[in-house]
Amino acid sequence: MSETYKVGDLVWAKMKGFSPWPGRVSNPSKDLKKPSHSKKSPIYCIFFFGTNNYGWIEESNMKSYREHKETCIKLNKSAAFKDAIEAIEEFIAKGQVFEDGLDPDSLFDRLKEESIVVEKKTPKITKPRKETPKAKRIDTSVERRPAKKQRRESSASNSNRIGSPSPTLNHSSPSPPRKSTSTLLDRPANIARPVTPPLDVETLSQTLKEKNILPSNLKFGFLGLGIMGSGIVKNLINSGHSVIVWNRTQEKCQDFVKAGAEQGLTPSDVVLAADITFSCVADPQAAKDMVFGNCGVLTEISPEKGYVEMTGIDAETSQDIAEAINTKGGRYLEAQVQGSKTHAQEGTLVILAAGDRSLFDECQSCFEAMGKNSFYLGEVGNASKMNLVLQLMAGVTLAGLAESMALADRAGLQQKDVLEVLELTSLACPAILDKGRAIIEGGFPTQLPLQHMQKDLRLSLGMSDQLEQPLPLAAAANEVYKHAKRLGYGEHDASAVYIRARF
């Protein structure tokens, strides 16, 4: 196989479970042995900037530093990553050139081991100062330097930890694979959530084009433009509905206004201007604040106005909101959604509704734009209960998948092989396969936030307490999600529960 990179090339190198990290193609020292198992693509020894460690990386997991800088530099916001960027940029700014093609660390190893006296034309080498390299010239009268020896010993110790997800104890950067079992110290630190690409509000999805929706003549308000709400509103606008939006962060409204929506300054302004108002916020407390808070929904709710709660909440919260809306003469409908960010953007959600039947009928064109099916389940609270039952299934299943993939990795099996076999079995379904791929790739781009999954499990357990229904599996799964959330993965995708399962 022909090799694309040569010694000295600056690259982005990616280890499983981590964002790409800035590095340099290097010659390995004698204590850094090349993996013996076969590879489908060429493998290179990479010096990682910032951590000053080495690892073996396949060519398929490498990209040119300069060509992909603008994209990769946005994928991690940790302090160690910023130090690494500073180190490689300083390296580039120094304009260091090595005449024999060797990187400075390999050159020093050769001088140390062969006791070669360095001539005055010897190129500059890097010496670690904390985590940021700084260029200095080699003293021609010295063949070995204590500081350099100390750094090489550090590299040697790390090379003996083959397989660790990180080359340092704080686990902020990649490192080579190892054969020994993982310990708690191998757990990666909270990596920055992958940057979510901006939503293209004005482009119609193919699914929406095929629906051929006849929009309602009513005016609809929408409160909350988060990960789910933004996709839903996009489809409402593109299907021809008249929409007025509000979001706590006003800047998020701008793209929707450009696409044809109006913007309200407060939730009460939206309710006043709209015939029917939808709400999709983070949790039960946020839903209550939206209704009962200052400039909230209750301020402008009047007879015949409709309010549709799409936030994932418990039955009791939904009933409290319904009572307040009905007391003011308004109509209330809970419309829980099953699906993720992708389903919201493509208009393929499943809507579970309960409450005022006339309001459900008036929202049909909206539900058609949002999803592939809608169900009316009767009195207020039934939709919330149904949603929590389904979320309990999803949460426990995903926790089981995470533990299975962790076991496979610990047993020395290739996770991609596990997923390939799983795809051929009766267990295969889009949700499991998608989350399995997210676990293998390790970036955990958010489709359904982990903190929302944990919230739904918590609400399910609350419902089980009232009904005295034991839920031992859900209770155990909830603890796993809580731990992953405490580690800093709450805003990552729910598949990040793997971090807790593996480490």
DSSP string covering 46-73, please? EEETTTTEEEEEEGGGEEETTTTHHHHT
pLDDT in tens, 175-205: 444 443 445 556 666 567 677 778 889 888 8
Kindly state the tokens that stand for 302: 């009047």
pLDDT in tens, 80-134: 888 888 888 888 887 654 433 444 444 434 434 444 344 444 444 444 444 444 4
Contact criterion met (CB below 8 Å) for 436 and 408: no
Q: CA-CA distance, 363 to 326, in Å (whole number)?
A: 18
The pLDDT, as a whole number, for residue 94 is: 78
The pLDDT, as a whole number, for residue 354 is: 98
For 466, the 3-state DSSP assignment is helix
The pLDDT, as a whole number, for residue 17 is: 63
Q: CA-CA distance, 11 to 1, in Å (whole number)?
A: 19
Alpha helices in 328-414 (DSSP H): 341-346, 357-362, 364-370, 382-410
